[in-house]
C-alpha cells in the first residue's frame, strides 16, 4: 500500500513556495457561504467549507453530483456507473450527508440505495456549497457528515434589468455525450422571471479495459420561477421538473442490462426579508413540496420495483447582527412518505416526520471570538408493517477562533451530535439487487451519537493561500450494514426462497440466485483525518501569471472493537499548475488516488491510480467577454481506475481518456 501521511503532503506543498515574493497581492472579494445559518466569509468558517462557482462546476462536471464533487478535498463519490453518484464527505455517506437544493432537502431516494441518482445536478447549478463536518445544528442529525447545497437560481434572488441569458453547450469524447443548459431571465420593474432547461445524453463510456456495459444516460430538467425583488428583500415561487433515465450494469455479461426511469416535480417558495423586530434584522424562509417516483426495469423491459417519495419540507430563520454578536434562531420541519412496491422491494411504505428547533450565536471581539449553538430535534417513523418509532435528539457545539495576524484565521470546534436511524436502517427486509445482498433492518436500533473535535488554520493573502482542517469523530452506537454470515436464496422456477447457513448448503435449489445476508447493527467507531490545501502565485512571464496548487485529504475509520467500516475512500493528492491572463487560462494537474487495504471483513482491496488532467479556456475580449470556450482533458494517460467506495468497483472501471469541449455564454 502506498502511504501518504500528512508529512509527505506538507513536503509536496513546500515546493509551491519558491518565487512567491515575486507575485502581487490580488486578493478579491471573500466567498460568502450562504448555506450556514451564520452567513460569512468561507475563510472564517469554523467548519471546513468549499464554494464552487459556475466556472468551477463546469470544469469538474462529470456524471452525477458525487462525481462532479469528487475532486473537492474531503469528498468522494459512491459512483454507481454513469447514471448515479452521491457525495461522501470524510468517509460518511448515505443519510449522514444532506443534499439540498436551494437550501431545502431534495426529497428523492438517493440515500436509500447507491443506484438511485440525486435529483440535484450541477449541470444547471449557478453555485454549489459544501460544509464538511457536522452541520447538524442547522440541518438535522442526518447532516452529521456534512451538507451539499446546489443553488440553481430557479427563484431569482436578484433584480434583472431587461433580459439576461446564460447558456452552456458541451460534447465529451469518452461517451459521445452532449450536454446543454440555458437560462433566460426577464425583468419588469420589481418582478424577476427565470426560465431554464438542461439536458444530458451519453452513450456507454469507454474504459481502459473495454466499453462499460449499458452505461448510458438521458437527463432532462425544466424550471420556471418568479420573484418580487424590492429594497426589503425578495420572495418568489418556482416549479422544476426533472426526468432522468439511465442504464444499469447487467448482472451477467451475456444478459441485457436494466434501466431506471426517474421523475420528480418540485414546487418551491423562498424569501428573504429585511425586518426590524426586536433584535432581529432579517427573516428568511424556504418551503417545498416534491413528488418523486422511479421505476426499475428489468433487462427484458419488464417493470420491476417502483420507488415513491412524496412530501414537503420547510425552514424559517430569524437573524440578528451587531458589532460583536451575530446569531440566528430557526425551525425546520418535514413530512415524507416513502415506499417501494414490486418483487424486489426491500422496505414497505413508511412515513417520516421531523421537526427541529435550533439557535446559533457568534461573539466576535476582533482578535478572537466564540461560536456555539444547540438543536432539539424529534423524529417519528411510522412503517406500514413494522409499527412506529420515536426519537428525541439533542445536538450542541462550541467553538473558539483567533485572528493572530492579518490574513490568518485559526479555529477549533467541539460538537456532540445525535442522529436517529432511518426507515431503511430500522425496517429493511428483502433482497436489494443493487448491492447484491439481502438487507435486514434493526427495529430496536437507537440513536447514534458523534462527539467530534475539529481544528482549522487558514491563511489568505492573495499570492498565497493555505488551509488545513484536522478532525476526529468518535461515534457511540454507529449504525453499520455488515455481513451476517448466512445467505438467502431465490428460485424463480419454483417461486420459493429461504435462508441457508452458506451457499454450499444442499437444500438450495441448483439454479437459485444466492445473496449474502447483511444486517444493520450498532457498534462504536472512530473517524480521523483531515484536508490540506495550498496555492501560491509563483511568477509572471509573457503576460501570464503562473500559480501552483496542491490538495491532500485523508480519512481513517475503524470500529473500536476491531475492524473497519466498509467503503472508506482512500487518500488523494492533487498537484496542479495554472497559467492565466485576461484571455487564456490553462491548467495541468496530477490526481493520485491511493490504494485501500483497510477493509471491512467482506471487502476486497483496491489498487491506487494516477490521473493526468488538463484544461484550456479561451475568453475572446478578455474577462468581460460574454462567452468562452473550454477544452478539458481527463485521464489523458488512459489509466485504469476503480472507486473503492463504489459497490461496483470490481465490475466497473472509471472512464478512460476523455476530452470535453464546452461553450459558455452569459449576457
Chain segment 58-91, per-residue pLDDT in tens: 999 888 899 999 999 999 999 999 999 999 999 9
Q: What is the mean pLDDT of residues 201-216?
A: 96
Q: What is the pLDDT of residue 611?
A: 98
Q: What is the pLDDT of residue 533?
A: 95
pLDDT band, residue 14 (cuts 50/70/90): very low
Nearest to 340 by CA among 404, 257, 430: 430
The answer to whether 114 and 434 are in contact (CB under 8 A) is: yes
Q: What is the pLDDT of residue 646?
A: 96
Q: What is the mean pLDDT of residues 519-523?
A: 96
Q: What is the mean pLDDT of residues 289-305?
A: 89
Alpha-carbon span 188 to 647, nearest angstrom? 51
Check residue 7 and report its DSSP letter. Answer: H
Alpha-carbon span 648 to 115, nearest angstrom? 10
Domain ranges of the chain: 6-666
Q: What is the pLDDT of residue 336?
A: 96
pLDDT band, residue 29 (cuts 50/70/90): low
Q: What is the mean pLDDT of residues 565-574?
A: 96
The class (CATH top level) of 6-666 is: mainly beta
Give the pairing type, strands 544-559 and 127-132: unpaired
Check residue 335 and report its DSSP letter. Answer: E
Q: What is the pLDDT of residue 30?
A: 60
Would you call 429 helix, strand, or coil by DSSP?
strand
Question: Does 30 or 641 have the greater pLDDT score?
Answer: 641
Give the pairing type, strands 437-440 and 513-541: parallel
pLDDT band, residue 391 (cuts 50/70/90): very high
Q: 218 φ, ψ to 5°? A: -150, 110
Give the tens place of pLDDT for each residue, 132-160. Answer: 877 778 888 889 999 999 999 899 998 99
Check residue 30 and report its DSSP letter. Answer: P
Nearest to 98 by CA among 135, 47, 55, 126: 135
Give the pairing type, strands 177-188 and 496-500: unpaired
- Look at residue 1 and tell me whether its pLDDT is greater than 50: no
Give the tens place of pLDDT for each residue, 351-373. Answer: 999 999 999 999 999 999 999 99
Find the helix or strand (DSSP H, E) in which 8 lies.
helix 6-14
Q: What is the mean pLDDT of residues 105-128?
A: 89
pTM, full prediction: 0.92
Q: 69 φ, ψ to 5°? A: -90, 0
- The residue written with cell numbers 420541519 in the block is 333
- Look at residue 182 and tell me whether its pLDDT is greater than 90: yes
Question: Does 522 or 113 have the greater pLDDT score?
Answer: 522
Give the tens place of pLDDT for each residue, 424-482. Answer: 999 999 888 888 899 999 999 999 999 999 999 999 987 999 999 999 999 999 999 99
Q: What is the pLDDT of residue 638?
A: 98
Q: What is the mean pLDDT of residues 481-492?
A: 92
Q: What is the pLDDT of residue 7?
A: 41
In this structure, the number of other CB atoms found within 10 A of the CB of residue 178 comes to 14
The contacts of residue 411 (CB under 8 Å, 6+ apart) are: 46, 399, 400, 401, 402, 455, 456, 457
Nearest to 80 by CA among 91, 66, 70: 66
Give the tens place of pLDDT for each residue, 92-116. Answer: 999 999 999 999 988 898 888 899 9
pLDDT band, residue 16 (cuts 50/70/90): very low
- Look at residue 39 and tell me whether its pLDDT is greater than 80: no
Q: Please count the CA atoms within 13 angstroms of the CA of 582 that sit on its side-chain side.
A: 6
Q: What is the pLDDT of residue 9?
A: 41
Give the pairing type, strands 97-101 and 146-151: parallel
pLDDT band, residue 301 (cuts 50/70/90): confident
Q: What is the mean pLDDT of residues 172-186?
A: 96
pLDDT band, residue 24 (cuts 50/70/90): very low
Alpha-carbon span 226 to 230, nearest angstrom? 13
Amino acid at each position: 500500500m502506498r502511504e501518504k501521511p500528512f508529512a509527505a503532503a506538507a513536503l509536496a506543498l513546500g515546493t509551491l513556495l519558491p518565487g512567491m515574493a515575486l507575485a502581487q497581492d490580488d486578493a478579491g472579494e471573500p466567498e460568502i457561504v450562504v448555506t450556514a445559518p451564520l452567513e460569512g466569509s468561507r475563510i472564517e468558517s469554523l467548519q471546513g467549507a468549499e464554494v464552487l462557482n459556475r466556472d468551477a462546476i463546469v470544469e469538474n462536471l462529470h456524471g452525477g453530483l458525487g462525481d462532479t464533487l469528487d475532486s473537492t478535498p474531503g469528498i468522494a463519490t459512491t459512483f454507481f456507473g454513469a447514471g448515479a453518484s452521491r457525495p461522501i464527505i470524510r468517509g460518511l455517506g448515505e443519510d449522514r450527508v444532506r443534499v439540498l437544493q436551494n437550501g431545502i432537502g431534495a426529497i428523492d431516494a438517493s440515500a436509500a440505495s447507491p443506484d438511485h441518482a440525486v435529483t440535484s445536478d450541477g449541470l444547471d447549478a449557478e453555485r454549489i456549497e459544501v460544509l464538511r463536518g457536522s452541520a447538524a445544528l442547522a440541518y438535522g442529525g442526518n447532516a452529521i457528515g456534512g451538507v451539499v447545497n446546489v443553488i440553481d437560481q430557479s427563484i431569482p434572488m436578484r433584480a434583472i434589468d431587461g433580459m439576461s441569458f446564460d447558456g452552456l453547450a458541451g460534447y465529451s469524447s469518452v461517451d459521445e455525450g452532449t450536454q446543454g443548459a440555458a437560462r433566460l431571465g426577464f425583468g419588469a420593474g420589481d418582478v424577476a422571471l427565470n426560465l431554464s432547461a438542461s439536458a444530458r445524453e451519453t452513450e456507454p463510456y469507454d474504459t481502459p479495459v473495454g466499453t462499460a456495459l449499458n452505461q448510458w444516460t438521458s437527463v432532462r430538467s425544466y424550471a420556471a420561477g418568479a420573484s418580487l425583488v424590492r429594497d426589503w428583500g425578495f420572495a418568489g415561487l418556482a416549479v422544476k421538473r426533472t426526468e432522468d433515465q439511465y442504464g444499469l450494469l447487467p448482472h451477467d455479461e451475456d444478459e441485457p442490462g436494466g434501466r431506471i426511469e426517474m421523475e420528480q416535480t418540485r414546487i418551491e417558495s423562498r424569501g428573504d426579508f429585511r425586518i426590524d423586530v426586536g433584535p432581529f434584522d432579517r427573516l428568511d424562509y424556504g418551503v417545498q413540496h416534491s413528488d418523486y417516483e422511479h421505476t426499475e426495469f428489468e433487462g427484458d423491459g419488464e417493470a420491476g420495483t417502483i420507488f415513491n417519495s412524496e412530501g414537503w419540507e420547510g425552514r424559517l430563520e430569524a437573524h440578528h447582527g451587531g458589532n460583536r454578536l451575530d446569531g440566528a434562531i430557526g425551525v425546520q420541519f418535514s413530512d415524507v412518505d416513502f415506499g417501494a412496491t414490486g418483487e424486489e422491494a426491500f422496505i414497505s411504505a413508511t412515513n417520516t416526520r421531523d421537526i427541529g428547533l435550533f439557535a446559533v450565536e457568534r461573539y466576535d471581539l476582533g482578535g478572537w471570538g466564540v461560536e456555539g449553538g444547540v438543536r432539539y430535534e424529534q423524529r417519528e417513523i411510522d412503517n406500514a408493517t413494522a409499527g412506529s418509532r420515536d426519537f428525541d435528539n439533542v445536538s450542541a457545539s462550541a467553538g473558539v477562533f483567533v485572528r493572530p495576524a492579518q490574513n490568518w484565521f485559526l479555529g477549533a470546534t467541539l460538537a456532540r451530535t445525535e442522529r436517529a436511524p432511518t426507515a431503511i436502517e430500522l425496517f429493511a427486509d428483502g433482497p436489494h439487487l443493487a448491492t447484491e445482498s439481502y438487507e435486514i433492518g434493526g427495529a430496536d436500533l437507537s440513536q447514534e451519537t458523534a462527539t467530534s473535535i475539529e481544528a482549522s488554520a487558514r491563511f489568505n493573502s492573495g499570492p498565497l493561500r493555505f488551509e488545513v482542517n484536522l478532525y476526529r469523530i468518535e461515534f457511540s452506537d454507529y449504525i453499520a450494514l455488515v455481513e451476517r454470515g448466512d445467505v438467502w436464496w431465490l428460485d424463480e422456477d419454483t417461486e420459493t426462497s429461504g435462508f441457508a447457513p452458506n451457499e454450499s448448503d444442499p437444500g438450495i435449489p441448483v439454479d437459485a440466485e444466492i445473496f449474502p445476508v447483511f444486517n444493520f447493527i450498532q457498534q462504536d467507531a472512530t473517524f480521523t483525518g483531515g484536508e490540506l490545501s495550498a496555492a501560491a502565485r509563483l511568477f509572471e512571464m509573457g503576460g501570464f501569471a503562473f500559480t501552483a496548487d496542491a490538495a491532500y485529504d485523508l480519512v481513517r475509520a475503524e470500529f473500536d472493537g476491531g475492524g473497519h467500516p466498509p467503503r472508506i475512500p482512500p487518500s488523494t493528492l492533487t498537484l496542479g499548475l495554472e497559467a492565466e491572463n485576461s484571455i487564456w487560462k490553462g491548467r495541468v494537474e496530477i490526481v493520485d488516488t491511493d490504494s485501500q487495504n483497510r477493509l471491512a471483513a467482506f471487502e476486497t482491496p483496491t489498487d491506487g491510480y494516477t490521473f493526468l488532467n488538463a484544461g484550456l479556456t479561451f475568453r475572446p475580449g478578455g474577462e468581460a467577454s460574454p462567452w468562452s470556450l473550454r477544452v478539458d482533458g481527463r485521464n489523458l494517460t488512459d489509466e485504469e481506475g476503480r472507486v473503492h467506495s463504489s459497490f461496483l468497483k470490481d465490475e466497473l472501471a472509471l472512464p478512460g481518456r476523455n476530452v470535453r469541449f464546452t461553450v459558455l455564454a452569459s449576457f
